Each structure stands twice: as structure tokens, then as C-alpha cells.
Amino acid sequence: MPSSHDNGADFGSPADAPVRATAPEQQTSPHTEAAEVPRTEQTLLEQMGGFSGLIYSTVPVVVFVPVNSFFGLTAALWAALGAAAAILIWRLIRRSPIQPAISGFVGVGICAFIAWRMGEAKGYFLFGIYTSLVYAAGFVLSILVRRPLVGVIWGALNGHGSVWRSDRRLVRLYDVATAIWALVFGARYLVQSELYDSDQTGWLAAARIGMGWPLTAVAFGVTIWAVRRAGHLPVHSGA
């Protein structure tokens, strides 16, 4: 059923023609906005180095534990650093995004330094344990102050700013996704800190890998769900 605006346009003057000509462009804008969602997913994944980057992040740990068992701590630290450097060089050769590899190399360097200073293999995992605690606290705090980090990051990556905060449904979606990330990091801290305290270095490495990219993939899936749902909901600009 035509609207009153459409009826008025049918009987308007020729000067109204340019206005009518712009209608198809206005009608396609929702599709254009929806088309940004897959690009958002790709951007989020690129920031994490892609799925291959998530898997590569476990390589230094896989190298560290057996080398430590057979050749000692010093050899294990150099082996982990060498593995991280090899990943960085490999991504350079393939012209893949290197920022995640650089961050990974720096992280391995910090872990190796802590283990060297402590003189214990389990010290290699200490930085990751407390990093998980800080991340978990940050995600929880962002929910409490009504600025869930998933929404903040999504708005920053896409240039939408904080307009989503005016719609309670969008805030709830990002609360859910942010809570999942908080659970992931919180679980990592609780499990790995317990293994650390009990000197279970082998199981600590297994937990580091098992609670690494698999749980990250789950949290990322929930994030994609939230971003897609947000792309299909209107944002109210009113107070």
C-alpha cells in the first residue's frame, strides 16, 4: 500500500524528479551497512593474525617443553625464541600481516626472560597467566561501566564510534560477547595458576595450548554472532 509520501510524489511538479531519483540510493543504504558486517569479521580476524596466527602462537610452547625436558632450560628458551623468530620470518616471506608475529615474538621474549631470571621452566608461563587475569578484569569492568569492549572495538574498527550505546539491545549483545571473552580469560587464569602453583609444567603447557586458540575460536564465534545481530538491528540516536 503506497504511503502518503509516495502519493504526493506522483502528483508533484517536475522539480521533484531529482528527489525521486535518489530514492533507490537511499533504499540500498541498509544493504550497504549490512555488507560491512562480513568485512568487520575479516578485520577482527586479521587483527588476531588469522586462524593460522592463532595456531602459530602455540608453536613456541610446543617446542619449549620437550627441549627443556631433554636439554635443559637454557636450550629450551633459545629454542622457543628461535621458533618465534622463524614464524616471523615465514610471515614476512609470505607477505602475511606481521604485527601478530611481532607481538608473539616480543611475548616469547618476555616469557623467556622471566623464566631465565627465575631459573625455572614454569616461569615461562607466568606472564601469560597474569596477562589472562588482566584481560579478564578488563572485560568484566567494561561490562560494569556499560561500555562492553566488544562494542567499543567494533565501533573503532568500523568508524561507527559509540552510536551503538544508545540502543539497549545492541549493548546487551555486546555484553554477551564481552562476557564470553571474560570467561575465556578467567578460566585460563584459574586453571593455569593452579597448575603453576602445583609445579605441573607439562600440564601447564597442555593447558596453555588447549585453552589457547580453541577457546579463542569459540569466543570469536560469539563475537561474530553479536556483530551480525547488531548489523540487523536499528540504532536509535535519541536519548
6: helix, coil or strand? Answer: helix
176-215 residues labelled b (16+ CB within 10 A) or e (exposed): bbbbbbbbbbbebbebbbebbeeeebebbbebbbebbbeb
Give every CB contact of residue 19 below 8 A, 6+ residues apart in sequence: 9
Strand positions, DSSP E, 90-142: none
Three cell numbers at 10? 506522483
pLDDT of 168 reads 86
Q: Do residues 215 and 54 make contact, with C-beta atoms less than 8 angstroms apart?
A: no
Residue 22 has pLDDT above 80, yes or no: no
pLDDT of 155 reads 80
pLDDT of 6 reads 47
CA distance 27 to 22: 9
**Could you please report the per-residue DSSP string of 151-220?**
HHHHHHHHT-TTGGGG-HHHHHHHHHHHHHHHHHHHHHHHHHHHHHHTT-HHHHHHHHHHTSHHHHHHHH
CA distance 73 to 122: 10
pLDDT band at 89 (very low <50, low <70, confident <90, very high): very high
Q: Is the dihedral of CA 79, 85, 88, 89 positive or negative?
A: negative
Residue 78 has pLDDT above 50, yes or no: yes
pLDDT-above-90 percentage for the chain = 46
pLDDT of 3 reads 47
- Angle (CA) 94-99-103 rounded to 5° is 120
Q: How far is CA 35 from CA 13, 38, 44, 206, in A?
A: 36, 6, 15, 39
Give every CB contact of residue 162 below 8 A, 6+ residues apart in sequence: 147, 152, 155
pTM for the whole structure: 0.73
Q: Is the dihedral of CA 174, 180, 182, 185 positive or negative?
A: negative
Residue 190 has pLDDT above 50, yes or no: yes
pLDDT band at 96 (very low <50, low <70, confident <90, very high): confident
Residue 239 has pLDDT above 80, yes or no: no
